[in-house]
Structure formats: C-alpha cells, structure tokens
Amino acid sequence: MLDFMDTIPVGPAVKSATEWIQDTFAFLFDPIKNQFGDFMDWTAEKLAELPPILVILLVAVLAFFITGKRIGLPIFSIVGLWFVYNQGLWEQLMQTFSLVLISSLLSVIIGVPFGILMSKSKTAETIITPILDFMQTMPAFVYLIPAVVFFGIGMVPGIFASLIFATPPTVRFTNLGIRQVSKELVEAADAFGTTGSQKLFKVELPMAKSTIMAGINQTVMLSLSMVVIASMIGAPGLGREVLSSLQRSQIGPGFVAGIGIVILAIIIDRFTQSLNKKQVN
C-alpha cells in the first residue's frame, strides 16, 4: 500500500480563521447586523406602505420617458405589476426590490472605485483579477456560509452574499471602459495640463460611461438572481415564496412567485438598458 501524506487541514484552518474574524470584528459585524438590518426592514416597510396604484403609475411614467416615449415597457410594467398585486404578492415584491436596490447600490459604490484603481495600476489589476475570478466562479451557495456566520439570518446576510456575487461585473467593466478610452483624448487632456482627477472625471469616466453602465446592468441582474438563494438564509421577498413552495411541492404558488421575479427582472433590465442607450445617444 502506498503511504499517502496526511490530509492538509484546510477545513480546520478555515474554521479557525473564521472564528477569529468573527470574534475580532464582532464590534463591526453586530452593528451592521442590527442597525443595517433595521434600515433594510424600514425601507421594505415604507415601500410596501406606498399605494400600489401610485407605484405602478409612477413606474409606467418613468418607463415612458426613459424609453423615449415608447409604450411597450409602460404597458408591460402596468400589466406585470398589477398581476403581482392581484396575486397578493405586493409586499413580497417590495421586499425583493429593496434587497436588489440596496445590494446593487452597494455593489456599484464598491465596484467603480476598484475598477478605476485597476485601470490606473497594473499591480492592482494583477492582484484584484484573481480575486474577481474567485468571486465569480465560486458556487453561489458557498457565499451563504460566511454570510450566516458573520451576520446571522435575515436581510443583511442576503445583502452580503449578493455583494460578493454581483460586484465583479461593475469592477471589470469599469476597468475595461477606462482602458478603452482613446489614447489621443487622454494625450490631449494631458497637453491642456489637466490634473489626474480632472482627466478621470471629465474625460475618462464620461467616455467609459456606456461600458460601465453595461457592467452595472449585469450587477443588478446578478443581485436579482440571488433573491431565491438568499431566501435560504432568511431573506424575505418573492424568493422566500419560491423556496417555501419548493419545500412543500406547491407548484402553483411557486410558479406565480417565480413569474413575479421574472416581471421585476424584465422591468429593471429594460430600465437600465434604456438609461444606457439614452446616455449613448
């Protein structure tokens, strides 16, 4: 028999490191879990308190102007959102929307600066790229483990898991967009004596806006795709309805909740795409 080496204690090492992080940074995790969790609950409650008919009409009006006064998206928004309300899932829809909205905003706030850093530093790009690869290739369910360990169950760990899963596209597309800016424009800006910040905010970011918006669109869609997965660790919304139906083998309610997620996904996707096209034009 071959004498194989002893198993490398990766699991115990990760467990020890996780426990150390949890104990050392408890002063940070606990306020985030409590205060940020309260803020998320408050946001979802306030959105749910808005009259559904007002929200539906507001979305339709915004869709009308964002899409260049076309009626396709406004009509779909009215019919789709009315269907969700008719099925008694309006509160769950608002909870899902608040989860997607907050996680997408945080992903953009975190992702754009890191993308800028990557575009300006080859060393930073070399270090960050493998991290992004790891974040994108790791199965989404694995993100739930540290999320639960650090933040318990509820909306906050769902946001945490969504951040890890959805941030990479914004980082990558921001880096790509800035690197694709015409060298002639950059040289012209240098010739006029612009500072680094002036060149970034007045030349590079405006020229890269279309590419960055494409990354943001992917980030929003990935955040939405985490809705059902995040429900496994207590995140409320339509995902919880799908999960509950799956556990009880209730095809009808699960299908209806899934249709609600699809409707929300289509509306958000068309909104972000229309904003990008509008900026390009």
Q: Which pLDDT does position 190 carry in this prediction?
A: 79
Statement: residue 275 has pLDDT above 80: no
Q: What is the pLDDT of residues 174-204, one digit of tens each?
A: 999 999 988 888 888 878 878 878 888 888 8
- For residue 10, tell me if it sits in a domain: no
- For residue 8, tell me if it sits in a domain: no
- For residue 11, tell me if it sits in a domain: no
Instruction: Find all residues with CB under 8 Å of 210, minimum gap 6, and list them.
Output: 177, 276, 279, 280
Residues making up the chain, counted from first to last? 281
- For residue 82, tell me if it sits in a domain: yes
Confidence of residue 4 (pLDDT cuts 50, 70, 90): low
Average pLDDT over the chain, rounded to whole?
Answer: 85
- For residue 7, tell me if it sits in a domain: no
CATH number at residue 218: 1.10.3720.10
Instruction: Kindly report the three-state secondary structure assignment for every residue of the chain.
Output: CCCCCCCCCHHHHHHHHHHHHHHHCHHHHHHHHHHHHHHHHHHHHHHHHCCHHHHHHHHHHHHHHHCCCCCHHHHHHHHHHHHHHHCCCHHHHHHHHHHHHHHHHHHHHHHHHHHHHHHHCHHHHHHHHHHHHHHHHCCHHHHHHHHHHHHCCCHHHHHHHHHHHHHHHHHHHHHHHHHCCCHHHHHHHHHCCCCHHHHHHHHHHHHHHHHHHHHHHHHHHHHHHCHHHHHHHCCCCHHHHHHHHHHHCCHHHHHHHHHHHHHHHHHHHHHHHHHHHHHHC
- For residue 264, tell me if it sits in a domain: yes
Statement: residue 12 has pLDDT above 50: yes
Q: What is the pLDDT of residues 22-70, one digit of tens each?
A: 788 777 777 877 787 788 888 888 888 889 999 999 999 998 988 878 8
Question: Tokens 């992903």 identify what position?
Answer: 107
Count the domains in the chain.
Answer: 1
b (16+ CB within 10 A) / e for 60-69: beebbebbee
Q: What is the pLDDT of residues 222-252, one digit of tens each?
A: 888 887 788 888 788 888 888 888 888 888 8
- For residue 6, tell me if it sits in a domain: no
Q: Which pLDDT does position 75 carry in this prediction?
A: 92
Statement: residue 1 has pLDDT above 60: no
- For residue 114, tell me if it sits in a domain: yes
Q: What is the pLDDT of residues 78-96, one digit of tens each?
A: 999 999 999 999 999 998 9
User: Taking residues 92-121, what's their average pLDDT?
Assistant: 91
Q: Which pLDDT does position 281 carry in this prediction?
A: 52
User: Taking residues 164-171, what's their average pLDDT?
Assistant: 91
Residue 50 lies in domain: 23-280
